[in-house]
Amino acid sequence: MSKIRAKLIVITDDGTKGLEAFVKLGHNANNILFLPNGISLPELRQVLEAVDCREEENEVLKFVIAKRLTTFGRIERSVLLASELVRIGFTDFKLFIIGDGPEYNKLNALVKSDDIERQVVLLGALPYEGKMKYVSCCDMVWSFYDSSNLTNTIHDALAIGKYVLTLNDGSLEGFLKLSPGTDRNKILLVNLENFLEEATAKILNWKKDYIDKKHKRKQNMCLTENVWT
């Protein structure tokens, strides 16, 4: 079978290093249109206008992971991390897992066997508006994919200034180069080799500073709302 060389190849940057792969296959990089993935800011703004996080305010930290529940999504890593946090005594949090798929029953069984049902909630599939309520009202978004962590949810989370905990796999670099306004200090990277140990340490270190800042923001909000004019 003969191979036909395309005059123009159009691929998107989903964090899987597609450009490098095509070049290694013998394609000329000058004939490849490498487009960055992104988000619709007008749509995102419209969705966020309908979100009210006041009812979600409490002392429990909220983490979110949102993706289809498949084997390559590696959602079990988030459950194991939640279990490790509980094991070392950090119990005042909720992990919301948004999504449905063939791994749902397996993940649900893992949550029950680890006795972390109070901390981990499987919400199933939600519409975009429902997902964004959890993302916009949470304290941190997680993503631990094997192939790439440049997911739609991570796009949204970074766009609205959320903290992100993800693997140090380089998949966000293309997006970050084109997004100079993104606060890289809010991206916490962990290596897969020592995943549980590093992720646990990152969260505990982040928590100390974050809780203090969160309390100060609440105090300032109360002062503004209660001042007599």
Structure tokens at 49: 């206008």
Q: In the 8-state DSSP scheme, what is residue 203?
A: H
Reported pTM: 0.78
Q: In the 8-state DSSP scheme, what is residue 114?
A: T
Nearest to 214 by CA among 52, 58, 64, 39: 58
- Do the beta carbons of residue 149 and residue 170 sit within 8 Å? no
Q: Can you tell me the distance from the alpha carbon of 107 to that of 193, in angstroms, rounded to the nearest whole number?
A: 22
Residues of the chain falling short of pLDDT 50: 1-2, 221-229
Which residue segments constitute the domains of the chain, with CATH numbers given? 1-36 (no CATH), 42-208 (3.40.50.2000)
pLDDT at 209: 87
pLDDT at 112: 97
Q: Model confidence over 129-176: pLDDT tens digits?
A: 899 999 999 999 999 988 777 788 988 898 889 999 999 988 788 777
Structure tokens at 229: 């004019």
pLDDT at 75: 95
Q: Can you tell me the distance from the alpha carbon of 224 to that of 72, in angstroms, rounded to the nearest whole number?
A: 47
pLDDT at 155: 86
pLDDT at 227: 43
Distance of CA 219 to the CA centre of its chain: 28
Radius of gyration of the chain (CA): 20
What is the greatest pairwise CA distance in the chain?
Answer: 81
Nearest to 16 by CA among 193, 187, 169: 169
pLDDT at 118: 96
